[in-house]
Structure 1
Amino acid sequence: MGFSRLAAAITVLFASAAACASGDRTFERQVPAEARGAVDISNVSGTVVVTGWDRPQVSVRAELGEGVERVDVSSEHGRTTVKVVLPHHSGHGGDADLHVQVPKDSELTVSAVSADVRTTGVTGVQRLNAVSGDITAELGGSDLELKTVSGDVKLKGHGQPARLHVSSVSGDVHLEHGAGDLEAATVSGTLVVSLDSVRSVRVRTTSGDVHFEGKLASGADFDATSVSGDLNVRASAEAGYAYEVSTFSGDISNCFDATPSGHGHMPGHTLQGTRGDGAGHIRLKTMSGDVQLCDRK
């Protein structure tokens, strides 16, 4: 054997040994799936990337780190399941990076722990759950239910109306170009929302600030409450809206020169009135935060 061949053989040998030592390996599988079926994905530690496509099948590609036993993929009765499996009684989990392509109209459910989640091109209903991981999702015009603990959320839509339910504990939420109905609850994160068209908004936050910008449909209802966070709402509406604003120990300001009223010797301020025809309704309330309201975006 020549020197060059021997050197090449040694290089391959050492590369193989390094791969085995690291425990990294690749998994790939495709299974048939219904165009509007359900897809459930779960992962502990790593990433989950889901992309919608036009094929009636689910394609799974994964990079598995040391400590991951296998990936189970099954498809029956209209439901496809992708699950990362760790060894029984494992003292520590391994990382798994999942790349999953699903029929775009699938009903998607993702559960992740210590893993980031990203979805694009999925036009069916999405239910996304993460603990100690960020979620980035593209809104496809169908309903979204999202829950996260210790992770940030970034959502981007295309102005298509949908019902959006977002719950976050210790993480910021950014929503851009959404539309329809929004219900959001945060504990200690900032909520930044931009909605192209609003039917209803219900926001509850404990210690996080809320920044909202959007256009209210005729008869829309907007309700936001905060304990110690600020509320900054810039909402336009062709048919106008009635507004009720109150704060216990914060300040109230607006862009249309309305004057808040006090409660005599009691703490707190309120602001009530009507903009335009008053077809919609806005209620804003804080305990120790400030409130800003403007009828122009």
Structure 2
Amino acid sequence: MKTLYATPLLLALSIGQAYASTPINLSKDIQPTAKISIDNTKGEVTVTAWDKNQVQVTGTLGDGAKPIELEGDANSVDIRVDTGGKNGSWFSWGNDTRMQPTVLNVRVPRAVQVDINVVSAPVSIDGLDGGKVSVDSVSGRIRANVRSPEVSMQTVSGTIDLAGKAGKADLQTVSGDITAPAIGEKVEAQTVSGRMTIGGGPWHEANFSTVSGETQVRGGITNGGKLTVDSMSGDVDIGLPSDTSAKLEASTFSGDLRSDFGSPTKGEDGPGKELKATIGSGSGTIHVEAFSGDVKIRKGGN
């Protein structure tokens, strides 16, 4: 009878040992503007800036993953979590239950360039100032507080929260929300069912596209700049600065259209409304189109 009671205990202990995580503690001296590439399938990735010309990686390596090495030189470092299996691939790893989550806490110089690829790992970036930032995810949330000349973030079901300031930004989700209040020169934002809240400018070029998600824009365009918003069934809310100069065209097939610029009229091809107006000297172009969503364009949005 004693054996019957002891067996579950031994089994539990063996399972705990099998899935135990291995501590990570690696570092390498690098150039302050080096490129850091990070690949992780399961777990979490956190990148934090510090005032050392060194990359440091701490955290825990999940069971079933190969030991991590800091590959590369002082100008380029790769941090990669690979499966320990022989037949692993990028798409199979995310479904490989033999590899447990890996947590990567990466500290880097402020001006580095960062390129992150994950599958089901949330990503958090804080304090970077000067380098390009790129994040490609499948189901993980992306959060970044950075100052960067160029930011690219893509995720399928995760959200994108871009704080700080970006000169140019390419932001894409399928079902996740996008929040980016301070994008400077150029922005491209797309989502299927997520909500977009974008601000900044003045933009030389700004393109926003959604299927069913709501779009809120607060910002203007440069002289000769272009702002385009396309929505299928999501509502559109645009706030333009008082010094905006553009030719405005807006329409909705079956929704409502309200504007502080000009007077909307009934659409020719549907029950909706359309509008053509000149704001200021009309040097730029603003085109807003929705199928069944409502459109609101008003003064006051920096």
Moved more, 174-183 or 193-202: 193-202
Amino acid corresponding to residue 105 of structure 2 in structure 1 = H
- State the alpha-carbon separation in 1 of the partners of residues 132 and 114 from structure 2: 6
**Which residue of 266, 290, 295 corresponds with 2:294?**
290
Residue 267 of structure 2 is aligned to residue 260 of structure 1: no
C-alpha displacement of 1:33 = 1.8
Range with greater deviation from structure 2 (240-249 or 190-199)? 190-199
Match of 1:32 in 2: 29
Structure 1 gap segments, 5+ residues each: 1-15
Question: What CA deviation, in whole Å up to 9, does each residue of 1:217-261 have, x standing for no partner?
Answer: 3333111101111111011142532210011111101235x3212
Return the alpha-carbon distance in structure 1 between the equivalents of residues 45 and 270 of structure 2: 53
Structure 2 partner of 1:192: 197
SS at match of 1:67: coil
- How far, CA to CA, are the matches of 1:213 and 1:282 in structure 2? 13
Residue in 1 that maps onto 2:39: 42
Which whole-Å deviations, capped at 9, do the CAs of 1:14-33 have from their partners, x for residues lacking one? Answer: xx999746512211100122
Identity level (%):
28
- Alignment partner, residue 62 of structure 2: 65
Q: Deviations over 1:241-291 (max 9, x none)?
A: 2210011111101235x3212244744421010122223321100111111
User: In structure 1, what is the equivalent of residue 149 of structure 2?
Assistant: 142
**TM-score normalised by L of structure 1:** 0.86
Does the 8 Å contact 1:41/1:110 carry over to 2? Answer: yes
> What secondary structure, in the 3-state scheme, does the structure 2 residue paired with 1:142 have?
strand
The question of 1:111 aligning with 2:108 is answered no
The equivalent residue for 2:252 is 247
Distance 2:260 2:248 in 1: 13
The unaligned stretches of length 5 or more in structure 2 are 1-12, 89-95
Letter of the 1:131 partner, please give it: V
Tell me if structure 1 keeps the 8 A contact 2:19–2:100: no
* Mapped partners of 1:70, 1:27: distance in 2: 9
Question: Secondary structure of 2:263's partner?
Answer: coil
SS class of match (1:185): strand
- The count of aligned residue pairs is 279
| 1:104–1:236 distance in 2 versus 1, CA, 3 Å | same
Q: d(CA) in 1 for partners of 2:82 and 2:270?
A: 60
